[in-house]
Amino acid sequence: MSASSDKVIFYAYARSPMWHKIRNVLILKRIPHAMVPVADMPPRPALQRLGVTYRRIPVMAIGNDLFFDTSLMVSELEKRFTPENGHPALLDVHRGIQEIASAFWSDRILFPITGSLLPQKKLSEAFIKDRTQYNPNARMDKLDALRPAGLSALQSHLKFLAKQLSTSSTPFLLGTQSPSYIDVSFFTVVIWAKSLRTADDILILPSSKAPPPYRRVMEWVEAVDATIKAEAGNPASKTETLDDGKAAELIFSSAPTSLNVGVDKLNPMVKAGWLAEGDLVSVTPTDTGRIPQYGTLVGLSDDIIALRVQAPSGDKSLVGHFPAIGYSVKKNKLESTRL
């Protein structure tokens, strides 16, 4: 498939670890893109004007289609931006393992562990309150007191990464000559943990005077980091800053490329009469940030949940896409509207 002619737009804030993850993917795949800056906490008017109530960042827009969850974004970017058009593949080896390990081990297990290492004294009361609502299990008001548990958990996961790297014939997790998506996913979390400076006794680089307890892992970190930095200066992956008004205009003036998604009539929830095309539904993450996104169901498959989302103005809409794994879809109590 040829590279998309639509501008690739992200709604993100600069310090977001998940934005860093996607930014690293864009660098390695040499994809030009634009970023609409948003706040690190809701409300986010730039997304509200699109009809988006989902709260996780980043959100990706290509044409009239919005993509939620970084795992789905990467899958879509792989589909649209191919090696034949000068965009290196990141999922060409052991794709299923890469996707499930990134979506669940990295994003839903290791990421929250790293979040528990945040230095409490540097966090505002508003941030602590917001992230407590985002993840009630995080215990944001007790981060410092509970840090030993987080550090212990981090070490256990580093041990698994070390085991995998010990079987690799190259510096990267799957024995590839350059970083794959799984490398980017885990690198992003480990380098975020290192930047917090609360795990300095664990995340020691090989170049340091002190002996690193996880030398193979930190050598891998240096290898991934060096590759990303070498590619970062490539103008093919430059980031354009876009204001939210212009972004909204581009999104709403484009036609969706996903109208053929369709609702699978053999899906068990469809067969049971729980869901049908045209139903007003909500889609909610099953782990954290459980703020639902509302819309009209236009797509349901083993991979995707797709909604037509109405803008607050009432005269414009877009199609929002979620992964089928990690999200629940339910019919609203309001009367459904058939397409």
Confidence band, pLDDT 50/70/90 cuts, at residue 4: low
**Where exactly are the structural domains of the chain?**
8-85+237-331, 95-232
Task: Provide the b/e sequence for 31-61 (b: ≥16 CB within 10 Å).
Answer: bebbbbebeebbebebbebbbbbbbebbbbb
Q: What is the CA radius of gyration of the chain?
A: 20
pLDDT in tens, 6-27: 899 999 999 999 999 999 999 9
Q: How far apart are alpha carbons 255 and 6 in whole angstroms?
A: 10
CA-to-CA distance for 216 and 218, rounded, in angstroms? 6
Residue 257's pLDDT band (cuts 50, 70, 90): confident
Q: Going along the chain, which residue ranges are E strands?
A: 8-12, 33-37, 59-62, 65-68, 239-241, 262-263, 280-285, 293-300, 304-310, 317-323, 327-331
pLDDT score of 337? 39
**Amino acid 300: pLDDT:** 97
CA distances from 38 to 48, 77, 120, 178 (A): 11, 22, 23, 32
Helix (H, G, I), strand (E, B), or coil: what is residue 317? strand
Q: Which fold has domain 95-232?
A: Glutathione S-transferase Yfyf (Class Pi); Chain A, domain 2 (1.20.1050)
15-41: average pLDDT = 98
What pLDDT is recorded for position 239?
A: 95
Architecture in CATH for domain 8-85+237-331: 3-Layer(aba) Sandwich (3.40)
Cis omega before residue 256 (within 30°)? no
Q: What is the pLDDT of residue 25?
A: 99
Which residue type is seen at 96?
A: G
